[in-house]
Every structure is written in C-alpha cells, then in structure tokens.
Chains A and B, each alone.
Chain A
Amino acid sequence: MSDLRPDLAVIAANVAQGARVLDVGCGDGALMAVLRDRLGVDARGLEIDPENVSSAVARGLSVIQGNAEADLVDYPDDSFDYAILSQTLQTTMRPDLVLEQLLRIGRQAFVSFPNFAHWRVRLSLLWGGRMPVTRLLPVAWYETPNIHHVTIDDFRALLKERGITVEGAWFLNGDKATTAAAANFRAEHAVFLLQR
C-alpha cells in the first residue's frame, strides 16, 4: 500500500476485512478504492470538492458531495464499523462536534491530523516569528484551510475530557514511526483509532 499517503496506509493496514467504512473528506477516493479492492470493504465517502467527487464516482465509488459539519448529522447512529477523518479535523469550524458525530456514526473512528507541535513548526514560530510553512502545512496563513491547528497533546487532552477511548495511535515522521512519548515533539502527523 505504498502508493497511499502514509497516514492513509496506516488506516488501510488496520481496517478489518469486509468492514463498513465512511471516509469523511475522502478526496478522489484513493483510500476507499484500496479498501474496496484489497479488503472487500463496503466504503462510502463524503467530500466537499465536486471535482474530487466526480473522480471518485467515476472510479465506481459511492461518494456524496457535502461537508462534514453540515451533513454528518444526517447519517444514522452506528451505521458504519469505522468513520475515517484524515487530515480534515483541523479544517472544520468545530472539530469537537465533528469528532462526536464520527463516533456516533461509526463504532470506531480513525482520525489523522498534522501535529502543530512538531519541532520544525516550533522552530519556525520561535526563531522566525512567522506562521510555519512546512511539508504538511504547505500553505500560507492567509489561505490555509487549516483554521484549527492542533497538537498531539491538545488532541489527547480533548479525548480525555470527552471520555473517548484510544484504541490505537500511530505517530509518523514522513512515513517513519515515532514513539508515543516523543510524539508531540517529533511526529509530523498522527493517526488515532478512537472509540466511545
């Protein structure tokens, strides 16, 4: 699964065969196609960009044009084994409410996001005094879709406060794993598997 983005590869490696999956912010359906073709997953997608939706549907995937904040409320409780939100949490108006919806719709949820406490980000802000532009945060502050930057420790704190269980966590620097202890400093991005 090396053709997938590293966080997606982690998710694909940890989804059960034949599961029902909702990929929120599925892009052009790259992860969904892998899950369907290699694991026989019943995958559904939600994507905001119409061109991406068209590409995904043209691949034979079931994808709905919509956005997480407006449209997740329409899905019934427990309708999926997994709800996936990859690199999208930090773009939402209310990440906490989106997280609640994910865990209502899916029995479990995969959430991945870029870590705003990675040392490069810290250095950039500390020494440069400027909003960081890095490999995972490539867009300048005025046009970035990332309106709620979050660190791994911030996210852990939110999970604790809301009583959400962590079933798995992967911390990545590029496609290399980092330990949980050093993650907030060393990981560029994180993938969590969560459960209510």
Chain B
Amino acid sequence: MIDDARFGLSRTVSLPGPLLLDSGAKLSPVEIAYETYGLLNADKSNAILICHALTGDQYVASVHPTTGKPGWWTRMVGPGKPIDPARHFIICANVLGSCMGSSGPAAIEPSSLTAYGMRFPVITIRDMVRAQAMLLDHLGVDRLHAVVGGSMGGMQALSWPATYPDRVEAALVIASTARHSAQNIAFHEVGRQAIMADPKWRGGDYYADADPPSAGLAVARMAAHITYLSEAGLTEKFGRKLQGRDAKTFGFDADFQIESYLRHQGLSFTDRFDANSYLYITRAMDYFDLAEEHGGHLAHAFKASRARFCLISFDTDWLYPTAESRAIVHALNAAGAPVSFVELKSPFGHDAFLLESPELNRIADGFLRAGESR
C-alpha cells in the first residue's frame, strides 16, 4: 500500500461514472480530489471518512496549498488525537460541487472543453455522499469504521448510514442538522443574491478572463460568517471597539473592529473559493431534508442502519441549535439505534466545532474507541 498511488496527500482521481444525481442528471466523469492519512489495516476495519463543511476542503490535516495554513481540523485529526493516522486510515475528499479539485462548476466540461459554470448540474448532500462512495470503491474500502463531520459534514455523516446502511459502523455528527430551516435557507439566499448581483458574475460565466465576482462572494461570506459566531462571542471579542482610531469618522470606513474583521474574512475567502461553488453547495444544503428523502419520517432514514451514532451540539450555536440535534436523537431512538448525545458549552457559537475543545475530543475519542477492540 505504501507505493500505491491511490494513497497519500493531494490525490486526485477521475472516475468514469456516470454518477446518477438526485436531479436526474448524470455526471461523467467524476473527478475527486482527496487526501488519505495512515494505513488501511489488513482486515480493512480502520477506515474513517471525514466530511468537510461548506467552505472546507480535503486538507483536513495538511497544509492548505493556497493559504499556507495548517489543516482545518488538526485539533481532531493527527498523532495522539481522536482520529489518529497511527490507528486509523483517514480519508477526506473535496465534496462534489466544490472548487479544490473535485467536479464542480469550475471544472472543465468534457463536451465543451470549457468550465461548466452554471451548466454544472445542481447537486445534493446525498450526491456528495454517492461520490464519496465511488471514491471508497476506488480505494478498496467496503466499510467505514466511522464517518465524521461537523456542520455540512455532519449532514453527510447522517446521510451516509441512510444511503449506505451496510457500509457504516458509526457516525459522529457535530453541530449539524437533518434539514435546513427557513432561517438557514434565508441566510444562504442572501449570500447567493450577493454573488449574483455582482456585475462580474455574468451568469456564472466568468472563468475565461479570470475576473470573478469577488465582491459578491465576499459579502456572501460576511453574512454567513455572522451566523457562525455567537452574539456573546462577538461582544466579547469586538464589542463596540473602534478599528485603529480614537473616534468615529462620520463616514463609511470600517470604523468598528467587527466591520474590519468581517471585511477581512470576506476578502481573504475570495482568494481560496469559487463563487459558483458557493452557489451550488449552499443550494445542496438548502435542499437537504433527510426526512423528506424517507417518506417524511426521519426515523425511517435509519431503519436499515446498524450504525452507532453520536451527536454533539453547542449551546451557543444558533445556526444549527441543539433542538435540531435532539430531533435527530429522537428519530434514532425511535429507530432503535444506539445513540449518544451531548450539548457542550462554548462561547463560540457554530464555529465551536472547529476550535479547541477538550470535551469534544474526549467524547469523540471514547465514541470511536468503543467500536475498536477493547
């Protein structure tokens, strides 16, 4: 396996497909960019799939090629961490529709040899999961010891046992939901409209002259970023503090630190993310309703699954509040699934799942080890 080109950092694979999508469209070929860490053991029982969030990517525990920053979840993944390459074979793939090497609107459409743009088919969370299953087939992994994800990654982690009940032994779902609420959809729509209102968007056909709708994408990111933080967290970090000045300017500069912070977040995001991908992935999240996919009953989604589940929410997360996790727990109980749930305290809102949290790690570690030989 050491010399096998399928395994390691910064891998890409082009699978012929076709991948039949929820929309009815077929995608072929299916490009998937991914990374693996650690070694698949002899009985192939130690594979863990990590699913990333809306703007995440496959660089879960290695340096990001564009930003130069460390992996986005090194607090959870790495030597001595709950997900440990010394014990686990870890897979993280860029989701379908994204822009870090997997098939998405920025990828080249085979029939036209130009970027898909808005000709890329609308995809769903379940389509992302199907593409991941194709990748697992390619890697020779039949069953997952666990599928793990926060936020949109949690949606995939829920969708996995519902879609492939025989391929998942455990699902760890953090700060997530089984469906997007009206409020969730509303915030995403603000972001999409900001992108599409940018004159540089041009119906999504902006790739040829390398002049993307960065202003619109930055505003989308700014709006979304607010939903990732708690009111108390914002107050503690920024309050009404002014940015590099002693008095208000009576103008529209970024007088307040929070304005400067959001502008920076928006701008730096445009260096690493594609506006059309943002449209497609937010759409997939808005379409997500796991109960709807199973006759309106969430419990039915888990009927065929034998997986263990662990759900974790954060008390200040108002994007996917604890009640959403509880609804999932209720359905899992009704389905008789072994499920754990805890609401953790954190001042950091939705973003807490990415931040230092010894308690989160302790739970994740215990949950994952419970499925390993004791």
Interface of A with B (CB < 8 Å)? 42, 44, 50, 53-54, 56-66, 74-76, 79
B142 at the interface (CB under 8 A from A): no
CB distance from A38 to the nearest CB of B (A): 14
Tell me the complex Cα distance, A182–B342, Å.
42
CB-nearest residue of chain A relative to B327? Answer: A74
Contact A58 B362 (CB under 8 A): yes
Tell me the complex Cα distance, A98–B336, Å.
21
Contact A76 B342 (CB under 8 A): no
A79 contacts which chain B residues (CB < 8 A)? Answer: 333, 336
B339 contacts which chain A residues (CB < 8 A)? Answer: 44, 62, 64
Contact A75 B333 (CB under 8 A): yes
Contact A62 B343 (CB under 8 A): no
Interface of B with A (CB < 8 Å)? 308, 310, 326, 329-330, 333-334, 336, 338-345, 359, 362-363, 365-367, 369-371, 374
Tell me the complex Cα distance, A61–B326, Å.
18
A60 contacts which chain B residues (CB < 8 A)? Answer: 366-367, 369-371, 374
Contact A50 B345 (CB under 8 A): yes
Tell me the complex Cα distance, A160–B336, Å.
32
Tell me the complex Cα distance, A53–B308, Å.
16
A75 contacts which chain B residues (CB < 8 A)? Answer: 333-334
Q: With A62-B308, A74-B333, A79-B336 known to touch, is A54 a contact of B367 (CB < 8 Å)?
A: no
Tell me the complex Cα distance, A5–B105, Å.
61
Contact B310 A57 (CB under 8 A): yes
Contact B338 A44 (CB under 8 A): yes
CB-nearest residue of chain A relative to B360? Answer: A54
Tell me the complex Cα distance, A75–B331, Å.
9
Contact A57 B374 (CB under 8 A): no
Chosen A-B contacts, 28 in total, with CB atoms closer than 8 Å, are A50-B342, A50-B343, A53-B341, A54-B344, A54-B362, A57-B310, A57-B342, A57-B363, A57-B367, A58-B362, A58-B365, A58-B366, A60-B366, A60-B367, A60-B370, A60-B374, A62-B338, A62-B339, A62-B340, A63-B340, A64-B333, A64-B340, A65-B343, A66-B341, A74-B330, A74-B334, A75-B333, A79-B333
Chain A at the B interface: mostly helix, strand, loop or mixed?
mixed
Tell me the complex Cα distance, A12–B367, Å.
24
Tell me the complex Cα distance, A108–B333, Å.
19
Contact B366 A64 (CB under 8 A): no
CB-nearest residue of chain B relative to A49? Answer: B342
Tell me the complex Cα distance, A28–B330, Å.
21
A65 touches which of B341, B359, B369 (Cβ 8 Å): B341
CB distance from A104 to the nearest CB of B (A): 14
A63 contacts which chain B residues (CB < 8 A)? Answer: 340-342
Tell me the complex Cα distance, A65–B313, Å.
11
CB distance from B69 to the nearest CB of A (A): 29
User: Closest 9 A-B residue pairs measured CB to CB?
Assistant: A60-B370, A58-B366, A62-B338, A53-B342, A64-B341, A57-B340, A74-B330, A65-B342, A57-B363
A44 contacts which chain B residues (CB < 8 A)? Answer: 338-339
B362 contacts which chain A residues (CB < 8 A)? Answer: 54, 58
A57 touches which of B326, B336, B366, B371 (Cβ 8 Å): B366
CB-nearest residue of chain A relative to B336? Answer: A79
Tell me the complex Cα distance, A75–B337, Å.
12
CB distance from B178 to the nearest CB of A (A): 15
Tell me the complex Cα distance, A32–B343, Å.
21
CB distance from B216 to the nearest CB of A (A): 41
Tell me the complex Cα distance, A53–B336, Å.
19
Tell me the complex Cα distance, A74–B335, Å.
11
Tell me the complex Cα distance, A60–B338, Å.
11
B310 contacts which chain A residues (CB < 8 A)? Answer: 57
CB-nearest residue of chain B relative to A60? Answer: B370
Tell me the complex Cα distance, A177–B7, Å.
63
Tell me the complex Cα distance, A59–B365, Å.
9
CB distance from A156 to the nearest CB of B (A): 32
Contact B343 A61 (CB under 8 A): no
B308 contacts which chain A residues (CB < 8 A)? Answer: 62
Contact B333 A76 (CB under 8 A): yes
Contact B343 A76 (CB under 8 A): no
CB distance from B87 to the nearest CB of A (A): 15
CB distance from B331 to the nearest CB of A (A): 9
Known: A63-B340, A76-B334. 8 other contacts (CB 8 A): A57-B340, A57-B342, A60-B374, A61-B340, A61-B370, A62-B338, A62-B339, A64-B340
